[in-house]
Amino acid sequence: MFSLLSTATMLGAFTALLAIVFQAYLASNELVKLTVVLQHLRDLEVEFPVNGPRVAIGYGSCSDLHVRAVDFLQYNDNIRTELNATEYTFDDIANEEEFLLNFAYYFQRGAAAERFTANREMFLELVQRAKKSPSVQHHWALGGNAPVIGTRMAIEGANVILGAKMSSKLKTHLKEEVHLTGSLIEDDDIHLILEYNTGDTWGDLVSPRANRYILHNDHHNPFLSSLEEFDEPLRNFQPDLFIVSGLQMMDNYVYPPGVREARLEKVRQQMQAQSRHPQTLIHFEMASFVELELLQLLRHKVLPYADSIGMNEQELDNLQQVLETGKISLVADCNPRVAHSLDQARAVFRKLNAEFYQHSTADSTRRPLSRIHLHTLAYQAFIVAKDSRWQNTKNAAAKASLTAHRHVCATNIVNPDAAYLQMDDSFAVSAKAGADRVHFNNRDPVSCWEESILIDGTRSVAVEICVAPVLICKHAIQTVGAGDNISGAGLVLQI
């Protein structure tokens, strides 16, 4: 009996040891794979130098107050009860209860969100609580799409002018290479940044991925207050690239009649004016919008005049839904398949170009969409028209991928030990039946191919599509600003 028990115990121990050895073998193989992928992404990133392109970017700025969401927010059992009763997707957050329910809605889906509250008293109370609570760590940073994208492009070697107003204190956080065109103001708009990591728990809610929720009560940015002061510098600068961003600050803000339309008309005029400079490309950076009326305004006043659009998976899904159904999509799959995302990007490319061909005769300042950059947690995807002036798509995809890791991990060094891949060993190029599959190659990690996208019954556009894996940061330090840094890094190699 003793012998049999001893044998069983030894077999169990041996099996456990084999499992440990096998796991170590797998981990070692994965580390080798990541190291090879990293080296080849780096080779692509540095293949072409950045020769000081001229970049103009608007609009606005803010001071970001960062806190860890699950440490700052107090969970209560009523939240689960209310969430089960209905989905709380308030547009304008009226009180703290709505704020908590709205945060919970996005947190449990791992979806990025940016929301406005008109309740200034509540907002300032939350800011003071974040600043003064002894149990909550916080830090301040330069915020706003335009300053963050501009800073990234200046770091990468671009010559940048920024259409924004900010306080003298906030300006000290702006890199010297980014030239502010707007005047100084007394007080900056503040954004409360609630960061959370993959697997964070808040009550009985669990986040499926790292992301952030932003709450703001802006009073400068909704009016794009730097627009007029940006006119002359923009005209004299004659940029290689003009980036339009920060328009989500107009979402759900209550304006006097006609004011928002007039401000967007001024944006359109600045975009149209770039037609005087044939070398100038225009990029529009999407963001988190929940107001259909604003998205419809952007569809008519901004999108027709942009060569390029940058967005994440939530924003792509939202834009496609608005273009095809006229309805808002509040959240989407936070980890979408490549095939599904590419189909959505093709649909947006097709729809916006169909509208260009339909209206370009009447308006010569309209531009065909020639570039889409989709940034997700797991991959970067580009669709670029072959006859356009965008360059080095494969290299840009690699740079965007590496920038994603560096920003989220808050490091200049990409360490394979601190990363993992979420992409499969192969992916379909479309969700349609019979679609080709692309097999992942460690030594050629950015997959590119050419195809034609049928725009309407008579026209098609030849495009290059590139997909790059992201070496995902295992322990996210910061997610806010990731999309802006990724977009800026991708653009700088393409102009």
Span 383-402, average pLDDT: 98
pLDDT of residue 135: 83
Question: Under a CB-based contact definition with an 8 Å cutoff, are residues 490 and 400 in contact?
Answer: yes
Q: Is the pTM of this model over 0.95?
A: no
pLDDT in tens, 58-73: 999 999 999 999 999 9
Mean pLDDT of 1-20: 59
- Give pLDDT, residue 20: 60
Can you tell me the distance from the alpha carbon of 373 to that of 397, in angstroms, rounded to the nearest whole number?
A: 9
| Residue 202 confidence (pLDDT) above 70 | yes
How large is the angle between the packed helices 482-492 and 393-409, nearest 10 degrees?
150
CB 313 within 8 A of CB 336: yes
Q: Residue 247: is its pLDDT beyond 60?
A: yes
Interval 14-32: pLDDT, tens:
566 555 654 544 456 889 9
pLDDT value at 211 more than 80: yes
Confidence at residue 63, expressed as pLDDT on a 0 to 100 scale: 96
Over residues 461-489, the pLDDT tens digits come to 999 999 999 999 999 999 999 999 999 99
pLDDT at 78: 77
Query: Do the beta carbons of residue 468 and residue 446 sit within 8 Å?
Result: yes
Mean pLDDT, all residues of the chain: 92
Longest dimension (CA), the chain: 94
Q: What percent of the chain has pLDDT over 70?
A: 92
What pLDDT does 88 receive? Answer: 61
Looking at 106-110, 270-274, 401-405, which range is the least confident one? Answer: 106-110
Q: Is the dihedral of CA 50, 51, 52, 55 positive or negative?
A: negative
Average pLDDT rounded to a whole number, residues 324-333: 86
- % the chain with pLDDT above 90: 82
Residue predicted with more confidence, 426 or 134: 426
257-316 residue pLDDT tens = 999 999 999 999 999 999 998 899 999 999 989 899 999 999 999 999 999 999 999 999
What pLDDT was estimated at residue 22? 46
pLDDT score for 25: 46
The confidence score (pLDDT) of residue 26 equals: 44
Say how many C-beta atoms besides its own lie within 10 A of residue 391's C-beta: 12
Whole-number Å distance between alpha carbons of 104 and 79:
8
* 351 vs 366: CA distance, rounded Å: 14
Distances in whole angstroms, Cα of residue 315 to Cα of each of 136, 321, 344, 457:
31, 10, 11, 28
Q: Region 28-54: what's the mean pLDDT? A: 93
pLDDT of residue 5: 55
Task: Examine the pLDDT at 7 and tell me if it is beyond 80.
Answer: no
Please indicate whether residue 134 or residue 258 has the higher confidence score (pLDDT): 258
Sheet holding 159-163, edge to edge: 178-180, 159-163, 54-58, 241-244, 281-285, 308-312, 371-375, 379-385, 460-469, 447-454
